[in-house]
Amino acid sequence: MPRFLIPERPSTLLGILADALDAIGTGILLLTSDMRVRFLNRRQAQLFGLPKALLEQGPTFRDLLEYAASQSWFAVEDDDLAEYINDREAAVRAGSIAATQISLRDGRRLLFSCITCDDGNRILTYTDISDELRREATEAVAQVSAAFRFSNETIESQAAHLASLAEAAHEHAQMAEAARRRLEQEIEERCRLEADLRRMATTDGLTGTLNRTAFMIAGQRATERARDPGRCLAMLMLDVDHFKMVNDRHGHAGGDAALQHLAATLRAGIRQTDLLGRLGGEEFGIILQDVTPELAEQIAERLRLMVAENPQRHADRLILMTVSIGMALAYESDVSVEQIMARADQALYHAKGTGRNRVVKHHAAIAA
């Protein structure tokens, strides 16, 4: 029975966790943000009666519901099945669901809950409480029958015994609920850890901007969108003028502080829809999305002035900086972000060669 339906190599700890989840009596189902099954334990497959062939197809949550419906799983009239499946899928897609009971056609009762993680994943739990309900009912009936067979003198002792059974059942239920909460907390912690790892993989550790790899990937997507009619994209390449002098005068700690200050200044001068990344050393890239050529030039000039007019104070000394900026617009013929970046880099080279601390827009003469 496959457990991780999306191919990956879990760590030893995750393997142990997967084995532990297979051993518990509660069904566990982990959905991705697009409602596709990422993981389920053995108990969940048993509860749904899911065949191996279906699981190997990488099903969606709706696929599981529709398969269960085809096996007459739900205690719902056939005419109402489609609406029932739509409602169940919509409820899970909408977010977390407190513990609720689900009735099955064969008389079983399940306790169901849904938890939504920060990254959009969903954790669903299904616990078969039928046996527990029947057992409690059977025990109650047996105790009542026994009470009638005994004399009146034994009624109080029998009642006390029933009370102790009820208290013990309540304690066991509390223990099971506490274990379920601990499991949910561990899964939530794993979701948070995954989010932290993704952030570390895409973020420059010094400045908090996108790193080069993440910037190029996001830039490629933006380039592809920019080919749609009526959309325009501009790329800015920025380089700190004479940055070696900053390191020489203020040390590497001062240089790091200057780059952090520069990143904060650039971030304050662009829009939320724009992309900012550190490409290496003191070089940064900015992708302006859905922008006119005129607005792109205005933003570039504003950034140049903001950097020049807002020095960084470090160790009671001011670090003065200026930047040279090369700007290039996306062409309809561009198929990769590297093409736009190459033109912006040519414009940046021209800006540095003609005096620095200026914005140069790419044009045919520069390319020549």
> Which of the residue ranges 140-149, 196-205, 219-228 would you say has the lowest mean pLDDT?
140-149
Which residues of the chain does CATH 3.30.70.270 include? 212-367
Exposure string over 313-344, b if 16+ CB within 10 A, otherwise e:
ebeeeebebebbbbbbbbeeebeebebbbebb
* Whether pLDDT at 171 is above 70: yes
Mean pLDDT within 115-137: 87
- Sequence-separated (6 or more) residues with CB below 8 Å from residue 218: 210, 275, 277, 287
What is the homologous superfamily of the domain 12-201 according to CATH? Answer: PAS domain (3.30.450.20)
Mean pLDDT within 354-367: 89
* Whether pLDDT at 267 is above 60: yes
pLDDT digits (tens, 9 = 90+) for 271-306: 999 999 999 999 999 999 999 999 999 999 999 999
The pTM (predicted TM-score) of the whole model is: 0.50
Percent of the chain with pLDDT over 90: 56
3-state helix, strand, coil in the chain (%, to 5): 55, 20, 25
The pLDDT value given to residue 158: 67
CB 323, CB 307: distance < 8 Å:
yes
Could you give the CA distance from residue 219 to residue 284 in angstroms, rounded to a whole number?
Answer: 13
For residue 106, what pLDDT band results from cuts at 50, 70 and 90? confident
The pLDDT value given to residue 186: 65
- Average model confidence (pLDDT) across the chain: 86
Could you give the CA distance from residue 359 to residue 352 in angstroms, rounded to a whole number?
Answer: 9
The pLDDT value given to residue 182: 72
For residue 244, what pLDDT band results from cuts at 50, 70 and 90? very high
The pLDDT value given to residue 86: 94
pLDDT digits (tens, 9 = 90+) for 305-323: 999 999 999 888 899 999 9
Residue 286: φ, ψ to 5°: -135, 130
The pLDDT value given to residue 331: 93
Which residues of the chain does CATH 3.30.450.20 include? 12-201
For residue 240, what pLDDT band results from cuts at 50, 70 and 90? very high
Pick the CATH number of 212-367 from 3.20.20.80, 3.30.70.270, 1.10.3720.10, 3.30.1490.20: 3.30.70.270
User: How many degrees, rounded to 5, is the angle at CA 46 between CA 45 and CA 52?
Assistant: 50
The pLDDT value given to residue 270: 97
Could you give the CA distance from residue 166 to residue 225 in angstroms, rounded to a whole number?
Answer: 64
- Four-CA torsion 162, 163, 168, 174, nearest 10 degrees: 130
- Sequence-separated (6 or more) residues with CB below 8 Å from residue 249: none
Neighbours of 32 (CB within 10 A): 17
Mean pLDDT within 17-22: 80
Mean pLDDT within 27-42: 92
* Whether pLDDT at 352 is above 60: yes
- Which residue type sits at 130? S
> Which of the residue ranges 22-36, 72-86, 96-110, 132-146 would you say has the lowest mean pLDDT?
132-146
Neighbours of 11 (CB within 10 A): 9
The pLDDT value given to residue 144: 57
CA distances to 151, 160, 252, 306 from 154, in Å:
6, 10, 87, 90
The pLDDT value given to residue 187: 66
Mean pLDDT within 104-117: 91
